[in-house]
Amino acid sequence: MLTAGIVIPWITLNWGWRANFTAMAVVGLVWALVWLIVGAEGPIVGNGNGDDAGAGAERAAAVTARRLPYRVLPSDPTVLGVLVQNFMAFWGLALTLTWFPACLQKGLGFDALTSGRLFALLTLLNISIGLALSAWSQRLLARGARSRHGRASHSSRALIVGGVLVVALKLLPMPDMTKVILLSVGGGLTGVIFSLAPAMVGSVSPYAQRSAMLAILNSIASIASITGVLAPVVTGRLIQNAVGSAASGYEQGFALSGALLVFGGLVGLVWVNPEQSMARQAAIG
C-alpha cells in the first residue's frame, strides 16, 4: 500500500486508470509464485526442549484431545468482544481506503499527485504504528503481563485513542495537514486489532478447535467487510447532505467512524479477558 500510494497516481497519469488493474494482477501473480515456492506449514506442536519424536507425539495427542461444544466458544465474551472490535475497525479501514483519497482532493483541495503521496504517508504511519504497538504487546507478554493487559486492554485503548483522534477532526478547528496526520495516526492505532485479534481468539480456543475458531473469526471479518459497501454509502449520504463545504461531509463520515471505534474499544475493555475465558472453559470441560 505504501508503494501503491505513490505508483498508482503515476501509472494513472501516464497510462490511464485501467493500467492499474494490469499492474496489480502482475504483482499478485508474482506474489503467489513466491509464496508457492517458499511458503510452508510449521510443526503442530513445538519441540524446543529436546524431546524425542515419541514424546512430542504424545504431547501433541494430549493437547489436541480436549474439545468444547461450539455453542460455548463463539458465545464466549472474549470472542464476542474481539468480533465487535474487528467489525468496528473494518468500518474505519473501509472508510479510509474508499474516501480518504477523495477527501484529500475534494475536501481538502490537494492535487492528485500530492494526494497520492499523502496516502502513502498514511500507509507508512499505519504500518509503523501497527508494528510498534504489536511489538509493545509482545514485550509486555515477555515481561510476564497477563493477556488481559498485554493484548486485550492494549488493543482496546488503541481503538479508543484512535477513535478520539478521528472524532477530533469534526470537533476542533485545525489546519488541513494536521487533519491528515490525525487520520493517519488514528488509523495506525486501530489497525493493531487485526494482528492481536487472532492471537486472543486462538488463546481461548482448545488446540483442536483453534483453526475452526480462527476460520469463524475470518468469516465474521468477511461479513464485516460488508462495511466496505456500507461505510462508503453512509459517508456518501453525509457528504451529499452536508451543509457548507464538502469537507464538512467528509468530517462527519470520519467522526461517525471514530465514534464506532471508541465503542469497540469500550466493549473490549469490558468483555475481552482471555484469562477469565480460559478459567471458565476449564470449569466446563
Give the model confidence (pLDDT) of 251-268 as tens digits.
888 899 999 999 999 999
Say which residue the cell 485513542 belongs to: 161
Identity at 214, one-letter amino acid code? L
> What is each CA distance from 42 to 46, 197, 235, 284, in whole angstroms?
9, 21, 43, 30
Highest mean pLDDT among 68-72, 82-86, 154-158: 154-158
pLDDT of residue 60: 47
- pLDDT of res. 52: 44
Q: How far apart are CA 210 and CA 127, in angstroms?
A: 27
Q: How many angstroms separate the CA atoms of 8 and 137, rounded?
A: 34
Give the HSE-up count for residue 259: Cα atoms under 13 Å, Cβ half-sphere: 8
Distance CA 173, CA 162 (A): 18
Give me the phi and psi of 278, to 5 degrees please: -65, -35
Q: Which residue has the cell 486501530?
A: 190
Condensed to tens digits (0 to 9), the pLDDT of residues 116-175 reads 788 888 888 888 998 999 999 999 999 999 999 999 999 999 999 999 999 998 888 888
Q: Half-sphere exposure of residue 276, counting CA atoms within 13 Å on the CB side?
A: 11
**Which contiguous run of DSSP H or E holds residue 3?**
helix 2-15
Q: C-alpha grid cell for residue 242? A: 452536508
d(CA 163, CA 188): 11
Rounded to whole angstroms, the Cα distance separating 199 from 134 reads: 11
